[in-house]
Amino acid sequence: MTKIQSFKYHIEKLDKHYLWHPFTQMKEWMEANPLIITEGRGSFLKDITGKWYIDGVSSIWVSVHGHRKKEINDAIKEQVDRISHSTLLGLTHPPAAILAEKLIKLIQISEGTQLRRWEAKKPSVSQPLNFSTSQLPELSRVFYSDNGSTAVEIGLKMAFQYWQHKRIKGKKTFLSLTNAYHGDTIGAVSVGGIDLFHNIFSPLLFKTYKAPSPYCYRCELGKEYPSCKLLCLQEMEKIMRKHHKEIAALIIEPIVQGAAGMIVAPSGYLKGVRRLCSKYNILMIADEVATGFGRTGKMFACEHEDISPDILCLAKGITGGYLPLAATIASEKIYNAFLGELRDLKTFFHGHTYTGNQLACAAAIANIELFKKEKTLNKMQGKINFLKKEMDKIKGLHHIGDIRQKGFMVGIELVKNKKTKEPYPLEDKMGWEVCCKAREKGLIIRPLGNVVVLMPPLSISYQELKSLVRITAEALMKVTE
């Protein structure tokens, strides 16, 4: 046995003896040959034997400028030589404060363009707008935590407490969507809508209202876009009309419902949701944990429809895929409702030990600066179109029911029967089989059920994109033949 082989064997033994992996049936894991990653560079990952793979899902949707990016590495090294962590409870520090300003400016720049466009486009009579520019919330306060689920929990608790302070006591529940995914903690699961993950926990969850998912390929309402005239929005309005006195906030993944299989909402849907929230006095929480930081081709997905939420949740891409960090960003209106004397008990009693960790904030600052320096979003536009053209080439394959893409979020939905849209049974693990084949050919991807997901780092090259699609197509054909 070579030195490398024995090291591989050693790690595998430790893993199988001591680890419990997320979202993993460990019985299967114990029988499988684990891939052990030891290195990364750009869009690639290297395993312990020295083989390189394209990181086709950005290490679960986080990598932005690629692995081992000099500027982010340097920022972390510089910070580590000063201090790695101090608390935000009763103290502050430069990376947290500087990053907060950067985040707010990043949002305001996007909002600025929104507002100008908004004003240029006077509301037409046929589509009455129930709110004006001045009523669009201005996000202004950053509350840190360390992952997407906590960013969501914080958003929910803020929204709830906001109405209590406003003495509108009945607003105690939430409206969310079927097929929604907002994380794995209990509050986030309560507003989730993926039965496969969430059903078992139902006795633990608080009650929420559920509006239909804008899943056009399998419309819950049996309609077709655009002749449906967004009936799903009308269904949402029915719920709001009836229950707005109980609903503190609506939570939504703007434009793309990620974990449900990259479900892309039809044009006009998100704006309609914003309009309904304003009309019924319901706070809007945008969970941009997956879509934020350029993933959809704009810095934030809300920009596609010129809207801003009352609360914005960010995580995954915030540190460029380096360190756990999240931010829940609230409007000044919400923030102000929490101000008062100590005895008023208006304080937001919430905080995590590693809130605003210095290393993570330093990485996030470097990540944001890189967007400007490398014109990441600009360069991405051509690559998005290129990827779309490449995807169009494989659309005709027998078992591809639907291909959905927004920016660098792609879902390829496999079906047993294209005509009837009959899905493959879960036990067939078709998505997983495709990903296994792809791995043999040097591509790491991870499916969501029958949906094969492509989510490359924003920095991926045209050449690498081409390989990504070629290997995916080869694996698809091999498995579905």
Nearest distance, CB of residue 288 and ligand PLP, angstroms: 7
* Nearest-angstrom CA–CA distance, 459 and 184: 29
Give the contact letters, 151-170, x = binds to ligand PLP (CB under 6 A), - = no: -x------------------
On whether the CB atoms of residues 329 and 314 are closer than 8 A, the answer is: yes
**Span of 51-59, 142-150, 302-310, 337-345 interacting with ligand PLP by CB under 6 A:** 142-150
Q: Between residues 180 and 400, which has the closer beta carbon with respect to ligand PLP?
A: 180
Q: Between residues 302 and 471, which has the closer beta carbon with respect to ligand PLP?
A: 302
Helix (H, G, I), strand (E, B) or coil at 55: strand
- Using CB under 6 A, which of 43, 63, 114, 147 touches ligand PLP? 147
Interface of this chain with ligand PLP, residues 171 to 200, rule: CB under 6 A: 181-183
Nearest distance, CB of residue 72 and ligand PLP, angstroms: 19
Interface of this chain with ligand PLP, residues 308 to 337, rule: CB under 6 A: 315-316
Phi first, then psi, for residue 446 (nearest 5°) are -135, 130
* Nearest-angstrom CA–CA distance, 396 and 259: 24
- Which residue in the shown chain puts its C-beta closest to ligand PLP? 148
Give the contact letters, 402-441, x = binds to ligand PLP (CB under 6 A), - = no: ----------------------------------------
Q: What is the DSSP secondary-structure string of 124-142?
A: PSSS--SS-GGGS--EEEE
Interface of this chain with ligand PLP, residues 256 to 295, rule: CB under 6 A: 258-259, 287, 289-290
Q: Between residues 57 and 290, which has the closer beta carbon with respect to ligand PLP?
A: 290
Q: Between residues 410 and 479, which has the closer beta carbon with respect to ligand PLP?
A: 410
Q: How far is CA 464 from CA 206, 436, 443, 461, in A?
A: 45, 19, 10, 5
Q: Which amino acid is at 76?
A: I
Q: Between residues 9 and 206, which has the closer beta carbon with respect to ligand PLP?
A: 206
Q: Between residues 287 and 305, which has the closer beta carbon with respect to ligand PLP?
A: 287
Beta bridge partners of 129: none
Rg, Å, the chain Cα set: 23
Nearest distance, CB of residue 289 and ligand PLP, angstroms: 4
* Nearest-angstrom CA–CA distance, 205 and 201: 7
Nearest distance, CB of residue 220 and ligand PLP, angstroms: 20
Nearest distance, CB of residue 258 and ligand PLP, angstroms: 4
Q: Between residues 354 and 424, which has the closer beta carbon with respect to ligand PLP?
A: 354
- Using CB under 6 A, which of 43, 59, 145, 149 touches ligand PLP? 149
Tokens of 48: 């312990």
Nearest distance, CB of residue 143 and ligand PLP, angstroms: 15
Beta strands in 27-66 (DSSP E): 37-41, 44-47, 52-55
251 Cβ neighbours under 8 A, 6+ residues apart: 152, 155, 156, 174, 175, 176, 180, 182, 191, 285, 287
* Nearest-angstrom CA–CA distance, 326 and 347: 21
On whether the CB atoms of residues 274 and 307 are closer than 8 A, the answer is: yes
Total binding residues for ligand PLP by CB under 6 A? 15
On whether the CB atoms of residues 142 and 350 are closer than 8 A, the answer is: no
- Using CB under 6 A, which of 148, 155, 187, 411 touches ligand PLP? 148
* Nearest-angstrom CA–CA distance, 307 and 370: 25
Nearest distance, CB of residue 251 and ligand PLP, angstroms: 9
Q: Between residues 148 and 320, which has the closer beta carbon with respect to ligand PLP?
A: 148
Nearest distance, CB of residue 325 and ligand PLP, angstroms: 10
Residue 154 CB burial class (10 angstroms; 0-12, 13-18, ≥19): buried
Where does this chain bind ligand PLP (CB under 6 A)? 147-149, 152, 181-183, 253, 258-259, 287, 289-290, 315-316
